Structure 1
């Protein structure tokens, strides 16, 4: 199984947004950069299912991703909302274990904790950039096999 952990794209800052944080949307710059980056991903990864947090910025990121994976299934779950533990990520992965290639759209530092947990190195210090893709491959234990962020693919056509 291949799991792609995708951090939501750049959102409005907390200073720019005075409503409920779960409703905080992506910035125009975040939308533009994510769309450019996600347009290149189908050359690298297949995705059968996109599962996202219910936070607006993650939903918008997942919808941008789905533009380039129109045949993928789409689900939203509060299990991936900000503050999700690696065990929440495990629950979601278990629910979708019948697929070979899934994408989970979530938040930092939750994704970093999940990557550390799944790779068996809870002390790993990793920080996932906005709109980045972290690839894990395995079944019951996982290997960190890739990390791609938007600047890396700017020159790829």
Structure 2
């Protein structure tokens, strides 16, 4: 199974939010970063997603909704098993129920849950991983054996350099080339 774990984008500061922590939404910066992140993932993976799974927390759902616009998965599910504080074993149990697919499954969650999940399936200490907001880890996982292998790991800053969206200067190059051809 091809699984991509994504940490949600930047939320509003806790000091600026007076309601339940579960309802804290993305900040303006978080929305921008989620869009840039989604565009980069679209460029890298195109529309090869079967499922996007999200925790129930508002910031994860909002990140997922932005990803959905670009990645166009066949299914979107909001799952309590991805909420902070839940057992990562429950995610394994859920993944075992998903029919085999050649397409990717993407799960949007939180710190430290994602690091704990990677520790479970890779046997590496969770301190080996740090998910910035947003970031992703692609892995090949065998849910039956509860084991996986990391294929790639990108934090937001890495994505800007390695799979960044179209640069602002490129349209100007096209216009110049068109003028030269005329």
Whether these two folds match at TM > 0.5 is yes
TM-score, normalised with respect to structure 1: 0.92
| Residue among 112, 117, 131 paired with 1:128 | 131
Unmatched tracts of structure 2, length 5 or more = 167-182
Alpha-carbon distance, 1:97 to partner: 4.5
Give 4+ residue runs of structure 1 displaced > 4 Å after superposition.
Answer: none
The equivalent residue for 1:143 is 149
Measure, in 2, the Cα distance between the counterparts of 1:151 and 1:138. Answer: 25
Question: Which of 1 and 2 has greater Rg?
Answer: 2
Measure, in 2, the Cα distance between the counterparts of 1:44 and 1:107. Answer: 23
TM-score, normalised with respect to structure 2: 0.80
Residue 129 of structure 1: SS of its match in structure 2? Answer: coil
The equivalent residue for 1:108 is 111
Compare 101-110 and 82-91 and name the one that shifted more. 82-91
Aligned residues: 156
Compare 65-74 and 2-11 and name the one that shifted more. 65-74
The equivalent residue for 1:12 is 12
The equivalent residue for 1:44 is 44
Please list the CA deviations of residues 77-96 of structure 1 after superposition, one character each: whole Å capped at 9, or x if unmatched: 11111112221221232232
Residue 145 of structure 1: SS of its match in structure 2? Answer: strand
**Residues 1:92 and 1:136: Cα distance change in structure 2 (over 3 Å):** same
Higher helix fraction: Structure 1 or Structure 2?
Answer: 2
Unmatched tracts of structure 1, length 5 or more = none
The equivalent residue for 2:34 is 34
Residue 63 of structure 2: SS of its match in structure 1? Answer: helix
Kept after mapping to 2: 8 A contact 1:34/1:150: no
Residue 49 of structure 2: SS of its match in structure 1? Answer: coil
Kept after mapping to 2: 8 A contact 1:51/1:104: yes
